[in-house]
Amino acid sequence: MTEPAKHYVSWSDVERLVGRLLKALPRGYDNLLVVTRGGMVPACLISERANIRNILYAAVVLYDGEERALPEPVFVQFPEAHQVAGRRILVVDDVWDSGSTIVTLRDRLRKAGAHVDVCVLHYKPRRNRFPGDGPDYYAEETDAWIVYPWEPEHPLAD
């Protein structure tokens, strides 16, 4: 199998992608739920610009670098059911790759009674393990391995 090309995203690119998401996102979310660690920077930018102050997070382990470390996502930290029940929640992550992490997280939130939308900077439909499913909002489609400016292997950007 051929390795996907790496695409180095700059800080300017991140600003542009977040701007694209903000134009598409509806208003009225009760909470933002950040998928750590990749979703932290986009979630911060979205929360500031959309004035969403109630921020929850889910710490999830699936990858070790570029290699998938586990067969299924493991939640190290997740909000309690009473924190999400009946709330409109926007889940924010950097990328929907296979979809395993976000689908597991979204299903868990829905079982707790939350109304969930998912947004990501990048969506990889050809790697998606869930046919007919995907993020509700995304800024860009790609097949590349994305390297964001906050990642240690990214050359200094901008």
E-assigned strand segments in the chain = 6-8, 31-36, 55-61, 63-64, 67-68, 74-77, 88-96, 115-123, 137-141, 145-147
- pTM of the complete model: 0.89
Residue 101 lies in a domain: yes
Give the number of domains in the chain.
1
Domain that holds residue 12: 6-147
Q: What is the pLDDT of residues 20-50, one digit of tens each?
A: 999 999 999 999 999 998 999 999 999 999 9
Residue 158 lies in a domain: no
Give the chain's length.
158
In the block, tokens 């067969």 appear at 71
Per-residue confidence band for 68, with pLDDT thresholds at 50, 70 and 90: low
